[in-house]
Amino acid sequence: MVGLELDDGLAVITIDRPHARNAISLSTMDRIAQALDGAEGARALVITGAGDKAFVSGGDLKELSAIRTEADAAAMARKMRTVCDRIAAFPGPVLAALNGHALGGGAEVAVSADIRIAADDIRIGFNQVALEIMPAWGGAERLAALVGRSQALLLAGTGEILDAAAAERVGLVQRVVPRASFSDEWRSVARKLANRPAGDVKRVINGTSPEEAIAAFARLWVADAHWAAADAVMNRAR
């Protein structure tokens, strides 16, 4: 099951497969794609898992072990890479709320988001090498963009699994919060990211010309929302 929650500009996609520790099967890929369809128009997106044990534990080996040809393996990888590419290309900010361990393919889903917030007891790792394979859903490239080529090769090449604090130190996770306040914290951040300017900030960070950045600022400057906020600040200062 994959759930979709829509709340005032914020879309939350929850991977909910407790019997498989939220592992990704072929049908789960389809359901995430459908949830992304339903999230269109939201100003920010959250990807999370159900429960407190696993964000995504990787691919569902019980199902995916039926894939035995190179062509079928490539088709599976292409299918989920397309899903991760869609998450990465979402117009607004994307937050991965790491409620539990993110291992193998789960780490690849996590790095398809713009920002990762983790509960303090989770672990994350690109440990595909333990199965004598490699990341195939875009995770290796995205990991390198996050932590640098050398660190990415060390992590994905050895399969080292990091605790939340170590992941934060290398830049794989942006914020670590206590388990007790985790849900409140990621929802607070997500609601702030669902404001309209955050989407423009993402586009500028991703690469626009100076004139496009200035034009985005100017559109926001003349909007009613800006002047309402500005008036509130000026009135407080009186």
Can you tell me the distance from the alpha carbon of 124 to that of 136, in angstroms, rounded to the nearest whole number?
Answer: 17
pLDDT score of 224: 87
Quick: pLDDT tens for 176-222.
999 999 999 999 999 999 987 899 899 999 998 899 998 888 988 88
Q: Are 117 and 186 in contact (CB under 8 A)?
A: yes
Q: Are 156 and 140 in contact (CB under 8 A)?
A: yes
Segment (H or E) for 83: helix 70-88
Q: Where in the chain is the domain with CATH 3.90.226.10?
A: 2-192
Radius of gyration of the CA atoms of the chain, in A? 19
Where does 2-192 sit in CATH, by number? 3.90.226.10
pLDDT score of 230: 87
Q: To the nearest 10°, report the CA torsion of 192, 193, 195, 200.
A: 150
pLDDT score of 93: 98
Quick: pLDDT tens for 127-182.
999 999 999 999 999 999 999 999 999 999 999 999 999 999 999 999 999 999 99
Quick: pLDDT tens for 36-75.
999 999 999 999 999 999 999 999 999 999 999 999 999 9
Q: Give the global pTM.
A: 0.93
pLDDT score of 69: 97
